[in-house]
Chain A
Amino acid sequence: MSQPAVPTRALPRSVLRAMNPATLRRRASGAPFVLPVVAAAVAIVVCCPLVFVVMQAGQSGWDSVRQLLGRPLVTTLLWHTLELTVTVTAATLLVGFCAAFLTQRTDIPGRRVFTVLLAMPLAVPEFVHGYCWVSLFPSVQGFWGAVLVMTTSLYPLVFLPVAATLRGSDAATEEVARSLGHSRWRVLWRVTLPQTRPALAGGALLVSLYLLGEYGAFAMVRYTTFATAIYTQFETSFDTVSASVLALVLIVLAVLVIGAEAGAGRRRGRVVREGAAARPADPLPLGRGRIPALVGLAAVVGTTLGVPVYALGYWLAKGNSSTLPSASIWSATATTAGYALVTAAVATAAAVPVALLAWRHPGHASEGIVRLAYLTRALPGIAVALAVVFFAIRYAQPWYQQPPMLVAGYVVLFFPLALTAVRASLAHVPHGVEDVARSLGRRRLAVLVRVTLPLIGPGLAASFAMVALTASTELTATLLLHPTGTETLATRFWSYTTGLAYGAAAPYAAMMTLLSVPAVVLLTRRTLGPARSLKEEA
């Protein structure tokens, strides 16, 4: 465990402290070990799908592995997956950064409204996005269809963290760069963009991991990826072993993606202003660029939000099915909201120790835990759900198909979202701040509660809202893990759409979207609230 080399006095003091018998005794009593132990425990739970996949794949012989990977479609699908991942990730970075910059740093009219609207696609589940596009424009299909649908539904994962960073970062560095004679564009490229690098990298990581494992939305636009092959093995061959072998391939891809993120997100030191309040930048006057910028943002909002809203309205008006047991929508709504909120709280709480560990003790061990936790995101939902089924029924049978198990499944699925949000906000906390607080005589826990957590408050709120949003629309794992007899909005929506009752399904999709609106508003307000400063907190 290496100590961050920030405050000058920290290094010798920490060395002294480590050598001190009293410290060693205190360590033995547990306090400094709590964090690594808790973080490792979280990592173990979150990694159970990986263990499951490796265990299952281990039952396969080399011959069948060769045969599996030698199939004509496998190479094609692998290529599809890579092509799509790269394209959509690039597109979300571009749209996400531009939208964030325009709404947070320029004088474009309606900034706050745009900020909320731009985050709103998060409120629409991917399969609803997919269906809306396909039902309105049958020509939206294939590679470009997939790029369109996935970019429009995933770019908020980049937009929000980048917007938060731009809002919270200090204007001083940019002003210094300007005063040194750099042009606006050069400042944007050399100063502003690098400041958002961790946020961009974190967003890109989520987007690309998401794309590796996504299936439902691609099915809608009739584009097949490697995840399709895995679903086929599960769903038409009932062959968990072969499916797991294929899933291992996705995990290898995910390892590469995570490695790339680590490279892009870390890159030398970060500019963090210490000891004084961060001061927000003055909005950049757009001048004549105002109109094109407005048109651009309106176009993004129009395509990402307009299409789903229109399609949902269309369904609601057109649907002919009348067998809907209308009373159940309210209980499904309550169930959905309940699970989403509990999951959000648990996932956020679980992300804090892992993120803190990586932040306090950057090193191979802590980074390893973080990366392991991300890997799960690349697995198709059905693999994650079956893994939870597998372990739950063996080691926690009384809880099997009980509410805690569904929450646990959600936490496993959405932990990376929480971790990204918490890590992104920790990245802006100066490293010495906890040491300073402790040197003033505060106990560890008090420092955490009174200093560290308030500093990352926006990150915690972002994590909470993000997980709540995603959990409220989850389908695959919900179908397998929900307590028998309870229904969520997503499972009802699924029931009706598989019965071709789109009219009956529409209220559930609309309710899912409506339910998510407050979370998105919270997300944008908390993430982008007034820039927090050390002065306020300390």
Chain B
Amino acid sequence: MAATYTLRAKHRRSRLRTLAFLSPWLIGFTVFFAYPMISTVYFSFMHYDGFKPPTWVGTKNWKYVFESYPFFWPALRNTLWLVVIMVTLRVLFGLGIGMLITKIKTGTGVFRTLFYLPYLAPPVAATMAFAFLLNPGTGPVNSMLESIGIPAPGWFNDPSWSKPALTLMFLWGVGDLMVIFMAALLDVPKEQYEAAQLDGASAWQRFRFVTLPNISPIIMFAVVTGVIAAMQCYTQPLVAGKVASGVIQGAGTSFQPGYPEYSTLTLPQLVYNLGFQRFDYGSACVVALVLFALSMAFTALLMRRRGGLIQAGD
């Protein structure tokens, strides 16, 4: 009897000790995730403007966002565009630059620094610089294109060019991915390349069957973090649209993000617009939940489809 009691007490102490070690995470999880998450779901069914007590409105906010809020679908399309096109290009470009720099014999440090520096530029400053460079009327990029007879695009002033212009800017700041890919590429065992070469593998085959399998976890990391960043893309499209539109908020002026023609609208901008400009917290919560669900869906999809990207045991 006494032995059983001692054993139970030992188990209880062990459980308590485990919980004590876990408590920082548990507290963080409750305060920063579970409570906000439950609140968000709760407020998505309430009419609440921050002053009057919240009132239950059922699915009104959900219907409003999906059926009547004119910015939701364009913002969703833009966000998905950024997730698919921009993330793909960023990963390919980052990997390409990383591979090139690992190949060069001299001046690696200089190139590494040159490619990494843009990543350090503050988002607002970088966007304003690009808006200046890509200005259709006075920008040096268009002057150069026109001088060699290439029709100059409208960039941030043209709805069909605004997202490619944004992508171009994100490619310029690809330094973070480049550094990660470089580390992964330098980590690929040399003997595998030597063995492949002895077997007569071409450059493409060496990349396909040696490099790619070795760096696949890093590619997965780049894709997942890129998707999350694209989902949360807020500052750059907002600043680009605002600068290009020429509207400066002042007496009597109003600015709706998305210039031109909703093309730079993203879902996080809608959360801000609904929540902190219109003070329709209920609808803002709906958009936040959509964003959350999308993030979950993309992550789950990537994890499920990782197949060839991550090898067993990773």
Chain B binds chain A:
no
Chain B residues within 8 Å of A, Cβ to Cβ? none
Chain A residues within 8 Å of B, Cβ to Cβ? none
